Structure 1
């Protein structure tokens, strides 16, 4: 059963993570992840496919375009109604990272992870069905280390990028003045990481993003790199963030809208229902 209202801590007034089933949030997360993978794999087909209309451009320029589209889609999801409801984690390690900050109940942890992996597979399948030979020519957007890159180095690069991503999220969501700008920063950060480091590992930072293409392309041989690396990055980010005294994550939403209900822990104002269910509160960030 879905808990209708968030519990409130008597000491801080902040809402605490809720137990129970939250199908609306989980569905939003599934759809958001599916859209990101569909658009992202489509962008890879357009930029690097065998019939790409821009194959004459330098690889660096095509990587920059891919990063802008891939990351930009995630940021647009974050500010959409889907993202405002679920938080637009779209990545298992983002949810895990918030869980380390005691902002996520284990019910939501499992629900979000299942939704993210299912969404990634669905989005990749949809892109494969649409682009067919073009998708096959880019291995359905498969992430794999470049030739000559040792597995240990690939894990380290993925861990480092993931730690940077999560620290950016932690610090942006730890202040009410910066929280709403998180999607913009992530768009820029992920774009740069794709642009500069995709030639090394493919720039995943997301086990769900890598699983979808790996399954569809039937190439799971080095998928473990894209699980271990991000997990190590998440652990590193959590450890480093704990050193920042008097700093606490205020919201698990990448774009916090006070009109939207939250099932996770937050110190920012939230609505009790979806905006269509009642009037919006007057408080803002």
Structure 2
């Protein structure tokens, strides 16, 4: 991210990791960063499909029969994977958002240029689709089995789409607030990739057996389209965006409170 301060209309001085690329110069193409996002999201989804293929397929030698421990393992692996992608040279170049809701969050926090949000979103969605298709190509028909279903995040049986929407929105709102903390404290950005990776891993481990724990439209769209299972897809696509908006509202209220306290001084 570029230098500046929250509330000034300029981006805070936050590390590029999960914080957007340096603010583009006038006339530069945000599609360059979007192309990197596409590639990174493709890698992410290929690895997610791979994890689900090996841990949830009953024929796999490392099959975990109980769903909660299996998704706990997936959450731990995803946390490590995300840290690696964020800290990679490509991740530092684009910011490694890997999620349209992250890009929206940072834009609403004035930490990411608005004109790059659409290109990043398109890149992330296409990358999610490409990575899922690559998983099918590499691992074969087992990926489309009922147990794996292209790595689709699924709610528990009987859970309504509305409850999925609420849980997914709440989980991303919490993630948005975590991101906001680092946006407001640029000196503490070094542990940011680890904190974000851990938070996403916990969302998968805790909410995976309940709502699916996707919290990412780009993570859900590819598996849903390729598997043909669009159960609660509208909730998975829209809830993280609402969560981003809610988290940013709380963030701005908090920032105004900090500014007011700084102006007034101790009472």
TM category, shorter: 0.7 to 0.9
**Cα deviation code 1:145-176 (max 9, x no counterpart):** 21111221111100110111111111023212
| TM-score, normalization by structure 1 | 0.78
Aligned position for 1:88: 96
Q: Greater shift after overlay, 187-196 or 40-49?
A: 187-196
- The question of whether the paired residues in 1 share the 8 Å contact of 2:55 and 2:64 is answered with no
Once the two structures are superposed, the pairs formed by residues 28-177 of structure 1 within 5 Å of their partners are 28-137=36-145, 138-177=148-187
Which residue is 2:201 aligned to? 191
* Gap change, CA 1:242 and 1:218, over 3 Å in 2: same
**Structure 2 gap ranges (5+):** 13-22, 260-267
How far apart are residue 244 of structure 1 and its match? 1.0
Partner residue of 1:271?
Answer: none
Q: CA deviation at 1:12?
A: 7.3
Matched positions, count: 242
Check the 8 A contact 2:9/2:110 in 1, yes or no: no
Aligned ranges for residues 176-255 of structure 1 at < 5 Å? Answer: 176-245=186-255
- 1:199 counterpart SS class: coil
CA RMSD after TM alignment: 2.4
Q: CA deviation at 1:7?
A: 9.6
Q: CA deviation at 1:95?
A: 0.3
| Larger fraction in helix | 2
Deviations 1:103-127 (A, max 9, x none): 3333211110111011101100000
After superposition, what is the alpha-carbon deviation per residue over 1:43-101, rounded to whole angstroms, capped at 9, x for unaligned?
01110013222335533222111111223212211000011111010000000111112
CA distance, structure 2, for counterparts of residue 35 and residue 151 of structure 1: 28
Distance in 1 (alpha carbons) for counterparts of 2:237 and 2:216:
8
Deviations 1:1-37 (A, max 9, x none): xxxxx7989x979669445413432221111111110
Summarize the alignment of residues 269-280 of structure 1 with structure 2, pairs less than 5 Å apart. none
Structure 1 183/229 Cα, relative in aligned 2: closer, same or farther at 3 Å?
A: same
Deviations 1:168-203 (A, max 9, x none): 111023212321211111222222221111011111
- Normalised to the residue count of structure 2, the TM-score between the two structures is 0.83
